[in-house]
Amino acid sequence: MNLDTLKLYCDVVRLRSFSRGAAANGVSQSAASQSIQQLEAELDLPLLDRSRRPLQPTEEGHTFYEACRTLLQGFEKARAELQMAKQRVEGTARVAAIYSVGLHDMSRHMQPFMSAYPHARVLLECLHPHKVVEAVLNDEADLGVLSYPAATRALEVLPLRSEPMVLVAHPTHRLARRRSLVAADLTGEKFVAFDHDLAIRKAIDRVLKQHGVKVDVVMEFDNVETIKQAISINAGLSVLPRPTILKELGMRTVVALPLAFPDQVKALANKSIDASVTTEPFIQDILAKDVGVVFKRMDEFIPNQQTAVVMFSPKFASNTDLATRWMVAYVKGVRMFNDAFTKKIPAARDEAVDLLVKRTDLKDKAGYDKAVMPGIDPDGKLNVDDLKAQQDFYIAQGEQKDRIDVEKTVDASLTEAAVKTLGGPYK
């Protein structure tokens, strides 16, 4: 009798099968059966009821199984403790971290670390970002944890994780009840910012500038905690790492506002979003940059869905001549699109791809050979039945209260005039 035999017996009982117990121990079924028979002979007791399927231990066999399992667990624990003693981690790790990391994150990481390595110590100091770098450079800290570290030859920078940034406001702020916001909604809003010399401030300013947004900076602080206090008195909006506001979200002292991200490729890359609904050629751009994978295409969920429409303001539509000329240009464009990607006419395809390369982020022409372009009716017609079905869905979900007459809302007169101007239906 040895530990290997006892483990084999426990696995046979646990899995209720000689074949699976044998496989778990890397032996043949016949070898497993012989080992259990020898064990029963040594104990002079039947341990398994072989007449039942699936295999069951006898009453004595179950008692023996529990005793063997306890013995094996004790052995594994003792062996692990001996291995730990051989690999004992001792000494002191000096960590310098920015306030948001030190106050919110380090404690939950330090506790399991100290449990795993009870002979080690961690000295944590919360510092201004510049001081974190200085502490490591001056050998006052072994590790530094901060956001947006500057590249330097004197330090090795390792990515730790990505944190989504969120727009944060007081629950009574005028934008707090909006279901969705775009960057332009922030223009002129009071804003509680990080100090102007911090890397995170520069990154936020850069994004706001990219979207043409100019906020009214009313306060500047060097740490997240003070910014959250300012938001709690409704001093203004701010953009903060989401993990730093989880407690306040639970207490409802702040709210995270849904800010639409027009550049979904960048949003996927920096993990601001986990998934997106997008179309070609942006799908190929996402795949080329390796920031996402295709889960399902929309036509696999809802075939022939009307995903977009052209809308005119009443003032623009009232100028019939101008609106018709615009629609003629639009229909010519969608016909070229169909020539290029449905009929695959070489000249039209080259022209369309050149335009897309110029106007979108997908600059590799080869990417358009892989793209599954969306369907657009070459005469500008809408799928009115699908628009009705979508309205039914939104009403059922409580997202829309009042029903509109889709037939009256859709005005096909301009597209019909454009098709007539162009010589009739697309062929």
pLDDT in tens, 145-172: 988 887 778 888 888 877 788 899 999 9
Please report the pLDDT score of residue 325 as a whole number.
93
Q: Mind giving me the DSSP string for 245-302?
A: GHHHHHHTSSEEE-B--S-HHHHHHTTS-S-----TTHHHHHHHTTS------HHHHS
Q: Are 52 and 62 in contact (CB under 8 A)?
A: no
- Which is more confidently placed, 142 or 296? 142
Q: What is the mean pLDDT of residues 329-334?
A: 93
Confidence category of residue 260, pLDDT binned at 50, 70, 90: low
Write out pLDDT tens, residues 361-401: 778 888 888 888 888 899 989 999 999 988 888 888 777 88
pLDDT at 261 over 70: no
Go through the domains of the chain in sequence order and give each one's CATH number. 3-86 (1.10.10.10), 91-145 (3.40.190.10), 165-260 (3.40.190.10), 262-427 (no CATH)
- Which is more confidently placed, 181 or 323? 323
Q: What is the mean pLDDT of residues 82-98?
A: 80
pTM reported for the whole predicted model: 0.45
pLDDT at 259 over 80: no
pLDDT at 272 over 80: no
Cα(118)–Cα(24) distance, rounded to whole angstroms?
A: 34
pLDDT at 359 over 90: no
The winner for highest mean pLDDT among 44-48, 101-105, 109-113, 158-162 is 44-48
Q: What is the mean pLDDT of residues 125-135?
A: 88
- Bridge partner residues of 143 (DSSP): 95
